[in-house]
Structure 1
């Protein structure tokens, strides 16, 4: 009889626990945010002439629970992601040689024969991000040049370093601060990376197994699966891209939209500066901006 009673109590407890885990929860922006899981990747290219190019990227995904059980799972993922984030930030900062602030939502970094660059998007205010970089870069031995332009939603600062000229550009957009940090090496690229004089260049690639459509303002570019996936590997590879995947644009802001089968179209604003070359790579349903030159 006691065994039967214990079994009934145990079964009842399991039913109650299962029911509790299935209880709907009210969304909590402070708890259920875009800092829960991390998608990351790295590519390394080594050529016979000794050139080496490394590309890193990382993207935080949102964990949005509807039920208590999902929230508990999200909490566990969040703890793991925070630990992984600290390891990733430390390693990438050391490998690229550029400081990386915590709390990022998207990162790309490039260390090539031409440039060391990092593109970072953060849900922090511009003043906080600017303070971080000024302190970290000074600690790294960089000297800030005179003439820094700091406004309410923008900042542009040039630096002198022992490795070459460098620059930091911050912009505030859609509740995020976007930081573009670059150190220019002495090596000059061939026509594969070079934009037309006083223009900026966008180069489009698709690193997925699905077709994609990218629209830049009113211009539509169709990308087959894996089309241009290695454009960031070298200027020779970039030069082999069809003209449709290389856009020379006047400096300014452009609306860029990515559409893939079965996914909702995703749009963002992208700023192109004169004499800069960027790769926009389709990966995990988003466009990853990588500074190439």
Structure 2
């Protein structure tokens, strides 16, 4: 009798727990934060002349559960992801010597003989992001130059540093602030990937197992799986790309559409300035990964 009662209680408890796991939940933006999953990549290239190239990229996604069971799983995975994220942020910031704005959903960074750069996308407002960078860069001994341009949806601030000239560019787009911070090193004049004077060079690559289409300035380029995936690893690798994966542009804003086979198309407005070279990689789920190379 006791065994049957215990069995009934266990069965009833299991049924109740299973039913509870299937209870619908109301989306909670504060709880279902963008730190629930994280994907990180890092490459390190050492050249024969002793020069070193480091490239980082990471994406974070929001876990949006529909049921209680999914939320409990999201909470557990999210705790691990946030711990990983904090470790990554400290490591990246120390190695690159560049601050990283909070609550980022996508970031890329480059440390080569020619440049130190970071691209960050965060839901924080432009004013908050600008305040963060000004304070963080001042602590690093950077001096803000006169003539900063600060508007409601964009900001451009130049800095003088002991390592060379630096520029911070912020753009507010689709509820996201995009921050591009770059410090150009003295060796930049020797880079193979320099654009033509006054122009911009865009180099395209695909990190994924599927083919992808990238449309820039009404021109569509088909990238096979893994085509040019190592373009950001070194100046030499980028220079050896086929001409079909190199685009010369005038400075300005461009609407880029990226579609990975089997995934929905993603669009992004991309602002570039004269004498810059960028790598644009197809990342997880077709996410565009812009990396400033020069």
- Whether TM exceeds 0.5 here: the answer is yes
What residue is the counterpart of 1:37 in the other structure? 37
Q: Is contact 1:190–1:235 with CA below 8 Å preserved after alignment? A: no
Which whole-Å CA distance do the structure 2 matches of 1:214 and 1:147 have between them? 36
What residue is the counterpart of 2:111 in the other structure? 111
Question: Which 10-residue stretch deviates more, 150-159 or 186-195?
Answer: 186-195
What residue is the counterpart of 2:204 in the other structure? 204
Which whole-Å CA distance do the structure 1 matches of 2:208 and 2:83 have between them? 28
- Spell out, residue by residue over 1:55-94, the C-alpha distance to the aligned partner (whole angstroms, 9 max, x if none): 0011001212121100111111222222222111111000
What residue is the counterpart of 1:6 in the other structure? 6
Q: Is contact 2:216–2:254 with CA below 8 Å preserved after alignment? A: yes
Q: Is contact 1:89–1:102 with CA below 8 Å preserved after alignment? A: no
Does residue 49 of structure 1 match 2:49? yes
What residue is the counterpart of 2:172 in the other structure? 172
- Spell out, residue by residue over 1:114-160, the C-alpha distance to the aligned partner (whole angstroms, 9 max, x if none): 00000011100111111111111111011111111111111111111
Following superposition, the deviation at residue 36 of structure 1 comes to 1.3
Q: Mapping of 1:1-293 within 5 angstroms?
A: 1-189=1-189, 192-284=192-284, 285-293=286-294
Question: Which 10-residue stretch deviates more, 269-278 or 181-190?
Answer: 181-190
Following superposition, the deviation at residue 227 of structure 1 comes to 0.9
Question: Which 10-residue stretch deviates more, 243-252 or 79-88?
Answer: 79-88
Q: Is contact 1:192–1:240 with CA below 8 Å preserved after alignment? A: no
Q: Is contact 1:201–1:272 with CA below 8 Å preserved after alignment? A: no
What secondary structure, in the 3-state scheme, does the structure 2 residue paired with 1:187 have? helix
Which whole-Å CA distance do the structure 2 matches of 1:155 and 1:258 have between them? 26
Following superposition, the deviation at residue 271 of structure 1 comes to 1.1
Q: Is contact 1:189–1:235 with CA below 8 Å preserved after alignment? A: no
Following superposition, the deviation at residue 233 of structure 1 comes to 2.1
Which whole-Å CA distance do the structure 1 matches of 2:102 and 2:94 have between them? 14
- Spell out, residue by residue over 1:167-221, the C-alpha distance to the aligned partner (whole angstroms, 9 max, x if none): 1111111111111111110003557411122111110011122211111131000
Following superposition, the deviation at residue 258 of structure 1 comes to 1.2
Following superposition, the deviation at residue 290 of structure 1 comes to 0.2
TM-score normalised by length of structure 2: 0.96
Q: Is contact 1:256–1:270 with CA below 8 Å preserved after alignment? A: yes
Alignment length (residue pairs): 293
Which whole-Å CA distance do the structure 2 matches of 1:113 and 1:63 have between them? 38
